[in-house]
Copies of this chain bind each other. A is one copy, B any other.
């Protein structure tokens, strides 16, 4: 009884930060002070974090810092060379040596940004994609190897007796280390290639209305799109092999038993998924999937004086925010000039995040800025449109703040993200390589002046913001749940214990078919036998009676 009461009281004290923010009248902050003062994990737990670099880290960091602030002993394991990860007051960083330098890493990320502007013929494009994936996998799997074979670090992790591991499974080193340490794990992510997240959770994934990655399909597909969906689904296996085969060998070697990536991933207790069904299409889900889309977009700060004066000067026409994400801050001059030309045609002020050389045709209404407080700008009432590459973080900032979008997807899932916004009538997608100056100008005029875009994004925004608990609190809650209960075994479906044939009841169907066939066969034989007996007898009887009659 006591344990139940103890937990009941603890849980009773879980105050969503959005709630406390509202209570304290500070809408827009997460009301952390009251949140913290009211609820804390008994004595604090021990949490290991294995993140993925780049924009992935930006949203995970918010959750990790909040967990640190809530009194947990949080250890984040990062490579020595990193793009965005670093130290913080709220967690301990343990860095491991990697077989590449900071310089080569920066060059690698820079090259990805550069490559998207190189227009190649289709076969070369595909080859380039596979080359990139191969390079990416080789680089990070070698980093993973160095992590796993860093004896000192592994000894430290073993001795630390963590309650849980929070990880981004895009870097599949986390699942290996969680398995090695026998610690329950929480995954934090947007999606995995080849639907590995759905396979690993035993979540049904119907091909007929759940669009596959890279197809740009929506949930309403034509026959041709459904054919494409099925073919892409089949082809994804090759991608999976490319991405995971090196990790699979490494895991088997390190854990000293044959293991597949799917097996490792299927051990996850909770999947924190950085989306919700305002952005994603409705589809089957599993009870251990938690939807936390929009953790990143509501920590609004007041604009600095510099930005405040720019946006105020924009007058009644307002302003447009343009950024292609953390990995692309400059673009080829020809493209930049095209874009600058388009901006010159609209009456809005444009704030363009750009570190490259200024295009000579830059109009007066366009400001090139090295860094933008993107979410705070979008939250300003004068924000009229948001030009984005379609990363899920940016899109959620657009949704949160109700700003219609012009999407210029560059790589990865951005094309699919853009499609989702476009299919809701809340944005226009452009092909950054093929678009002309007029295309961009038209797209901007459409999303700014055609009221339907604003209405649609406002509808999405209203749905997204109407929720019983803030996604950040939900993320923190579930990490702590796994820490408290040493996993979430009750949410694990029994499907994990069935093989493919059993799962689809093929053995049962085959058995019942066999029974029906055998029964029918025997019945038929019996009938035939009876008939024959009957007719023979009759024949004989009629013969004998005939002879008697004769």
The answer to whether B465 touches A485 (Cβ under 8 A) is no
Range, interface on chain A: 35 or more
Report if A15 contacts B (CB, 8 A): yes
Closest to A480 in B: B466
A468–B462 touching, CB < 8 Å: no
Q: Is A230 in contact with B19, judged by CB distance below 8 angstroms?
A: no
- B16 x A21 contact (CB < 8 A): no
Q: Is B461 in contact with A468, judged by CB distance below 8 angstroms?
A: no
- Taking a contact as CB atoms under 8 Å apart, the answer to whether B494 and A219 are in contact is yes
Report whether A485 and B462 are in contact in the complex, using a CB–CB cutoff of 8 Å: yes
A123 to chain B, nearest CB (A): 21
Q: Which residues of B contact A502 (CB under 8 A)?
A: 208, 226
Q: How far is the CA of A507 from the CA of B291 in the complex (A)?
A: 33
A369 smallest CB distance to B (angstroms):
23
Looking at the complex, which of A49-57, A246-254, A277-285, A385-393 is the stretch in contact with chain B? Answer: A277-285
A447-483 to B contact mask, C-beta < 8 Å, 1/0: 0000000000010011101111100011001000100
Contact of A550 with B by CB under 8 A? no
User: For the complex, is A14 an interface residue (Cβ under 8 Å from B)?
Assistant: yes
Minimum C-beta distance from A525 to chain B (A): 25
Given A207-B505, A230-B505 in contact, is the A461-B4 Cβ separation under 8 Å? yes
Task: Tell me if A286 and B284 are in contact (CB < 8 A).
Answer: yes
The distance in angstroms between the C-alpha atoms of A474 and B467, with both chains bound, is 10
Taken together as a complex, chains A and B put the C-alpha atoms of A287 and B210 apart, in Å, by 14
Cβ of A100 within 8 Å of any chain B Cβ, yes or no, is no
Query: Could you say which residues of chain B place their CB within 8 Å of the CB of A531?
Result: none
The smallest beta-carbon distance between A66 and chain B, in angstroms, is 14
Are the CB atoms of B463 and A468 closer together than 8 Å?
A: no
Verify A466–B11 contact, CB threshold 8 A.
yes
A69: interface (CB < 8 Å): no
- List residues 2-47 of chain A with CB under 8 A from any CB of chain B: 3-4, 7-16, 18-19, 21-23, 27, 38
Additional A-B contacts beyond A204-B284, A219-B493 (6; CB < 8 A): A1-B381, A209-B497, A219-B494, A226-B507, A282-B491, A284-B285
Could you show 8 A-B contacts with beta carbons less than 8 Å apart? A12-B21, A16-B469, A204-B206, A206-B503, A206-B504, A231-B512, A283-B287, A284-B286
